[in-house]
Amino acid sequence: MDANQKLTQFMDAVSRSTDAQIAQAERDAQQEAEQILHEAEARCKADAEQTTAAARSRITAKYQKRMSQVGYRGKTALLSRRQALLMKLFAALREKLTAFTDSEDYLPWLKKLLEQNPPEENATILLREADLKQQAALEQAISVPVSFRADPSILLGGLSVLSADGRRCRNHTLDEAYAEQLRNFYRNHKIDGGNE
């Protein structure tokens, strides 16, 4: 199994794990909101039984306002928990990608990218600054003359291939794969941010 398949399996596992953890967070937040509502109802009922008919209309208005606030707080708490969980899970993915670029599997993976997506003559291979030291090893995977250049936008790793005329760029970076996984998660779960 090559590194791409391992990475794909890992990203699929993260998506499944994320779904399960978010579902649990939603259930927990729903239970908390129901408990708050239950306590608010109990207080309002006790107050209503002890007041006159005139006071009941005021309490009803206060109760409706309180319920709206409780609902808003419950939804806000749920969204905050979901976002924190999502960022925690994707931070773990980012750490694993960083560990991959520090592993012995990283250079063979870069070579395989170039072998499977051969650049055209006089193309420019864009890498992280730290990966430029692998230039000699990467040149062995290419049969045409190319140049290498650091790209400060590549933070995690991988490479991009800029055509000789500078008009086309094929992005094979881990940065783009990570961003695409995050966009897909947002899109698949109908969370704001999936179309960005």
| Tally of domains in the chain | 2
Q: Range of 76's domain?
A: 3-102
Could you give the CA distance from residue 168 to residue 147 in angstroms, rounded to a whole number? 15
Q: What is the CATH number of the domain that holds 132?
A: 3.30.2320.30
What is the pLDDT at residue 97?
86
Residue carrying structure tokens 């500078």: 166
Are residues 116 and 80 part of one domain? no
Are residues 90 and 30 part of one domain? yes
Q: Does pLDDT of 136 surpass 50?
A: yes
From 82, 102, 122, the end of a domain falls on 102
The helix or strand, by DSSP H or E, that contains position 17, with its residue range, turns out to be helix 3-50
Q: Pull the structure tokens for residue 77.
A: 């708490």
Q: Does pLDDT of 104 surpass 80?
A: yes
What pTM does this model have?
0.54
What is the pLDDT at residue 159?
93
169 lies in a domain? yes
